[in-house]
Amino acid sequence: MQPFVSLSGNVAALDRANVDTDQIIPKQFLKRIERTGFGQYLFFDWRFLPDGSPDPAFELNTPATSGASILLARRNFGCGSSREHAPWALADYGFRVVIAPTFADIFYSNCFQNGMLPIRLSEADVDELFRRNAAATKAGGHYRLHVDLDAKTIRDDGGFERGFEVDAFRRTCLMEGLDNIALSMKHLDEIAAWETAHGLPPVASGG
């Protein structure tokens, strides 16, 4: 898993609440077992018109969101089913950070397992970020944010700066690029010793 320590990136603002995982990645695209290749289907029903062409009215199809690596959204992002394909699609599209007032619990956990940082900010702070993003894009530019996981801060170039909370264990794992499998691999000796002590074949050591 790719480590995350800090990021400066453009923002894509999705001004919608209760965005569920079926909207993030519709069920008809859940046929792959790899984690890659899902970005092309991200928000498929919103991004594309019935004839397959991009919908110019959808937020992620505007020039201001080109190359965005930070997604700004409203409350209860990632609700619905527990499909891990949702963060896979977001990450494959290019997002490394998702900011919202609240997240669905399973989606929130899945983000950390897939190298993404979900940041919870207050409704008022999210409102302010949407306002600043609108002002920047209306002027024909991009809105950029700078995220520092080590310092647990997020800021822009116009004076906005906030701290955010993140569980210490999840923070360490994300900064070191450790998912559950990688964590287990760090303890192969202890696992092998436990297996030997309990009369089990040394599966962890390849026996």
Ordered DSSP codes for 155-183: E-TTS-EEE----HHHHHHHHHT--HHHH
Q: 44-62, pLDDT tens digit by residue?
A: 999 999 999 999 999 999 9
What confidence category does residue 202 fall into, taking pLDDT thresholds of 50, 70 and 90? low
Is residue 1 one of the residues assigned to a domain?
A: no
- Is 14 inside a domain boundary? yes
Whether residue 195 sits in one domain with residue 161 = no
Q: Higher confidence at residue 181 or residue 167? A: 167
* Global confidence as pTM: 0.87
Same domain, 144 and 188: no
Residue 3 near residue 172, CB atoms below 8 Å: no
Supply φ then ψ for residue 12, to 5 degrees: -110, 120
In b/e form, how buried is each residue of 84-109, taking b as 16+ CB within 10 angstroms?
bbbbbbbbbbbbbbbbbbbbbebbbb
195/174 Cα distance (integer angstroms): 29
CA 80 to chain centre: 16
Q: What is the CATH number of the domain that holds 153?
A: 3.20.19.10
* Domain range for 167: 6-176
